[in-house]
Structure 1
Amino acid sequence: MRDRIACPTRRPENNTSNSIITRLFFTLCVIGNFALTETPVRAEHPTLTPTPFEQIKGLVGTWQGTRKAYDGEETITARYSLTAKDTAVMEQLFPGTPKEMVSVYTQDGHDLVMTHYCMLGNQPRMKTQGRAPSKHITLTYVDGTGMRSPHEMHMHEVTITIMDDSHMTHQWTLYDKGKKKVTHTFMFTRQ
């Protein structure tokens, strides 16, 4: 605890100006001592909504989905699991098939970072920009490996929309030659 300011306890002679100064000094001492007392520490920025990483952790389990393809609808499975002492979430799309892809989500400060190990043979890294709204998490390309430049074909952005505990969508945007080529939308239900 901090030292308190010493305040005089005896009163000066009956002089009006001394009396006013003494009262003023006494008031300042009381205010000073109040300001120096310890107060409980509060969080700087209380979090009312879950962070994007906490939202991704909530997806742990198996999800079944569909995607519109050129020849009808395609069935998709997504599996989410915790790894690295619960500091990362691993997502498997098309697990056990030749199309299997893995994405690893981690928290970096207030942002969510993801590396996508794509069947295209590259590994784009994406990141959120600031806090995400409660239902939508958008990660956008930052950099990547396995490609000579960002103009090569790669997944550039993904938006995960969590409607409720049992329903979500993915929108994966593919870039080629520096421009958006196509967006694939997957609709998932928790199994």
Structure 2
Amino acid sequence: MAAGVLRNGSTRLILRRDNLEPAVARLRDPSNNLLKLMEIPARQLTMNGIASDTIPGDMPALAQAGFNRFKLLEGHWQGRSTKGWEETITFKTIAKGSVVVETSFDAHPNETMMTMFYLDGTRLLLTHYCVAGSQPRLEATSFEENGDAITFTFLDATNLPSRDRGHMDKAVFRFVDKDHFSAQWTWYQDGKENWMEEIKYERKR
């Protein structure tokens, strides 16, 4: 019965084969939950500390599925923020199904803003045409809750001489059902990121 010796300073640990083999057999048992846990890929942590379901190899399929979720939003929506103000938005698919355009009314008096969602190869991107005068481009970097939550993070921007100039920097969209979803953005300025109020939307009939 073979044995091995591990030395760590003054510590001497004897490993005997007859002690190891039962443990190895248990580990190899398909019903062992520990083995199943070991096979789960490491999960990315999001800014909310929630484990993400995003696995790099799955990104193309997740990006396509995410884009399809935005296509399903086509129509008119009424939104109400956690601060109490309301807005109306519309979603429309254009350019032979390659772009989803969101048009926002009433969020800023007498102003209209747009956000465009589209695929770039295997990536899901958005470009936000902001009342601040910049056009930040964000990339979907996290798909959580079986695709019901998509997080976009800052990629680059036009008309933004420095990232420290105030701009929309991150966005989280949560899909509840076919008639409800929510959106929450961050405002980044002078090295500080601040979450803005969440807006909950309901489809208008």
Match of 2:141 among 111, 126, 129: 129
Comparing 91-100 with 53-62, greater Cα deviation is found at 91-100
Match of 1:107 among 119, 122, 125: 119
- Identity over the aligned pairs, expressed in percent? 31
Shift of 1:179: 1.3
CA distance 1:54–1:175, shift in 2 (3 Å): same
Comparing 93-102 with 121-130, greater Cα deviation is found at 93-102
Q: Which residue of 2 aligns with 1:7?
A: none
**TM-score of the superposed pair, with normalisation by structure 1:** 0.69
Matched, 1:76 2:87: yes
Do the aligned residues in 2 keep the contact of 1:102 with 1:116 (CA within 8 Å)? yes
**Deviation readout 1:118-141 (Å, 9 max, x if unpaired):** 000000000012655421011111
Structure 1: distance between partners of 2:115 and 2:64: 21
Structure 2: distance between partners of 1:88 and 1:104: 7
Structure 1: distance between partners of 2:155 and 2:170: 10
Gaps of 5+ in 2: 1-57
Shift of 1:49: 10
Give SS of 1:85's match: coil
Structure 2: distance between partners of 1:97 and 1:48: 36
CA distance 1:161–1:130, shift in 2 (3 Å): closer
Comparing 85-94 with 96-105, greater Cα deviation is found at 96-105
Match of 1:58 among 68, 72, 88: 72
Gaps of 5+ in 1: 1-44
Equivalenced residue count is 145
Counterpart amino acid of 2:129? Answer: Y
Do the aligned residues in 1 keep the contact of 2:90 with 2:104 (CA within 8 Å)? yes
**TM-score of the superposed pair, with normalisation by structure 2:** 0.64
Structure 1: distance between partners of 2:79 and 2:192: 27
Please list, as runs of the form range in 1=range in 2, the aligned pairs for 1:1-150 lying within 5 A after superposition.
51-69=65-83, 73-94=84-105, 98-129=110-141, 131=143, 133-150=146-163
Do the aligned residues in 1 keep the contact of 2:74 with 2:92 (CA within 8 Å)? yes
Match of 2:195 among 167, 182, 188: 182
Structure 1: distance between partners of 2:148 and 2:168: 21
Q: CA RMSD in A?
A: 2.5
Structure 2: distance between partners of 1:130 and 1:183: 19
Counterpart amino acid of 1:129? Answer: T
Shift of 1:99: 2.9
Shift of 1:61: 0.5
Counterpart amino acid of 1:64? Answer: Q
CA distance 1:123–1:189, shift in 2 (3 Å): same
